[in-house]
Structure 1
Amino acid sequence: MTADTVTTIGNTLVQHGRLSDRIYVMHLSPADLPEVLDDLDALAQRERYTKIFAKVPASALSSFIARSYVVEARVPGFFRGREDGYFVAQFLDVGRRRASGDLAAVLAAVREKAGDARPAALPSGWTCAPAAEDDADDLAALYGEVFATYPFPIAVPGYLRETMAGDYRYFVVRTEDGRLAAASSAEIYPDDENVEMTDFAVHPDFRGQNLSSLLLLRMEEEMRAAGLKTAFTIARALSYPINATFARAGYAWGGTLTNNTNICGGFESMNVWYRSLEE
Structure 2
Amino acid sequence: MRADRCSLIKNYYTQIDRTKIYVDYTNKRVKIVDLNNISVQNIKRIIHFSSKEHLGKIICNCDSESLIIFEEAGFELEGKINGYFKGKDAFCMSYFIISDRKICSNFTKKELLVKECLAVRDTFIHRSDKSKYCIRNANENDIKEMVKLFSTVFSTYPSPVYDEEFLKETMNGKVLYKVAVYDGKIIGIASADMDKENLNAEMTDCATYPDYRGKGILSNIICSLEVDLKKKGFRTLYSLSRAINPGVNIVLSKHNYKYTGRLVNNCNICGTFEDMNIWVKNINYN
Shift, 1:114, TM fit: 0.9
Structure 1 length-normalised TM? 0.92
Task: Note if contact 2:55-2:97 (Cα within 8 Å) is conserved in structure 1.
Answer: yes
Question: Is 2:134 the counterpart of 1:135?
Answer: no
Aligned in 2, Cα 1:131/1:80: closer, same or farther, shift over 3 Å? same
Task: Note if contact 1:3-1:152 (Cα within 8 Å) is conserved in structure 2.
Answer: no
1:100 to 105, 112, 129: 105
Look up the equivalent residue of 2:126 and give its one-letter code: P
Kindly report which structure 2 residues correspond to 1:1-279, keeping only aligned pairs within 5 A, or say none.
5-9=11-15, 10=18, 12-17=20-25, 19-25=26-32, 27-28=33-34, 30-34=35-39, 36-81=42-87, 83-101=88-106, 102-124=109-131, 126-175=133-182, 177-278=183-284
Shift, 1:36, TM fit: 4.8
Aligned equivalents of 1:270, 1:253: Cα separation in 2: 11
Query: 3-state SS of the aligned residue for 2:81?
Result: strand
Query: 3-state SS of the aligned residue for 1:142?
Result: helix
Aligned in 2, Cα 1:256/1:206: closer, same or farther, shift over 3 Å? same
Aligned equivalents of 1:55, 1:276: Cα separation in 2: 17
Q: Deviations over 1:141-199 (max 9, x none)?
A: 11011101001110111110011124111111101x21001001110111111000000
Aligned equivalents of 2:122, 2:73: Cα separation in 1: 38
Structure 2 length-normalised TM? 0.90
Q: Deviations over 1:216-265 (max 9, x none)?
A: 11111111111111000000011111100100000001100111111012
Look up the equivalent residue of 1:223 and give its one-letter code: L
Give percent identity, aligned residues only.
25
Query: 3-state SS of the aligned residue for 1:155?
Result: coil
State the superposition RMSD in angstroms: 1.8
Look up the equivalent residue of 2:103 and give its one-letter code: R
Aligned equivalents of 1:166, 1:261: Cα separation in 2: 25
Task: Note if contact 1:184-1:199 (Cα within 8 Å) is conserved in structure 2.
Answer: yes
Structure 1 stretch 112-121 or stretch 245-254: which is displaced more? 112-121
Aligned in 2, Cα 1:209/1:125: closer, same or farther, shift over 3 Å? closer
Shift, 1:130, TM fit: 1.1
Query: 3-state SS of the aligned residue for 1:139?
Result: helix
- After superposing on structure 2, the runs of 4+ consecutive aligned residues of structure 1 that deviate more than 6 Å are none
Task: Note if contact 2:19-2:38 (Cα within 8 Å) is conserved in structure 1.
Answer: no
Q: Deviations over 1:68-114 (max 9, x none)?
A: 00100012222101x11111100112211111122111111111111
Aligned equivalents of 1:242, 1:74: Cα separation in 2: 19
Query: 3-state SS of the aligned residue for 1:278?
Result: coil
Aligned equivalents of 2:241, 2:12: Cα separation in 1: 20
Query: 3-state SS of the aligned residue for 1:32?
Result: coil
Task: Note if contact 1:12-1:32 (Cα within 8 Å) is conserved in structure 2.
Answer: no
Structure 1 gap segments, 5+ residues each: none
Look up the equivalent residue of 2:143 and give its one-letter code: A
Shift, 1:202, TM fit: 0.2
Q: Count the aligned residue pairs.
A: 273
Aligned in 2, Cα 1:238/1:125: closer, same or farther, shift over 3 Å? closer
Aligned equivalents of 1:39, 1:147: Cα separation in 2: 35
Query: 3-state SS of the aligned residue for 1:31?
Result: coil
Aligned equivalents of 1:119, 1:223: Cα separation in 2: 17
